[in-house]
Amino acid sequence: MDETKLSQHEKWVLYLAALGCPTLRIRVRDSESASLLFSRYRDSYGLGASDMMPGCGNVYDRSGAVIAHISYNGRAWNERGELMHEAFRE
């Protein structure tokens, strides 16, 4: 797909990092997909909140600015602390 046709949201990057786990930077389209991927990472490694490294769950735009954060329970919050998306449930 032509890079110029990608939406702004396709440029978001979710940062995942925890003690003893791989550090990942994953492209996401929206807060719902970020919530899902964060929750899968947390659950697949059996992580507690204290296992998460600083910045884990941050969502960055293409300029590198934090635009959202996924909290331990999987909720997505914007930079003003407003709820963007409830926790994803499988």
pLDDT of amino acid 74: 96
d(CA 76, CA 65): 16
Q: 68-85, pLDDT tens digit by residue?
A: 999 999 999 999 999 998
Q: Does residue 33 belong to any structural domain of this protein?
A: yes
Q: Say how far apart CA 53 and CA 66 lie, in whole Å.
A: 16
Task: Measure the CA–CA gap between 47 and 56, rounded to whole angstroms.
Answer: 12
Does residue 90 sit within a domain? Answer: no
* pTM, two decimal places: 0.85
In a domain, 32, yes or no: yes
The rounded percent of the chain whose pLDDT value lies above 90 is 79
Decide if 43 is inside a domain: yes
11 compared with 26, residue with greater pLDDT: 26
DSSP 6-38: S-GGGGEEEEE-BTTS--EEEEESSHHHHHHHH
For the record, the structure tokens of 70 come out as 């996924």
Domain range enclosing 25: 7-85
Output the pLDDT for position 5.
39
Q: Compute φ and ψ for 3, nearest 5 degrees.
A: -55, -35
pLDDT per residue over 47-62, tens digit each? 999 999 999 999 999 9
**Count of the separate structural domains present in the chain:** 1
Could you tell me if residue 44 is inside a domain? yes
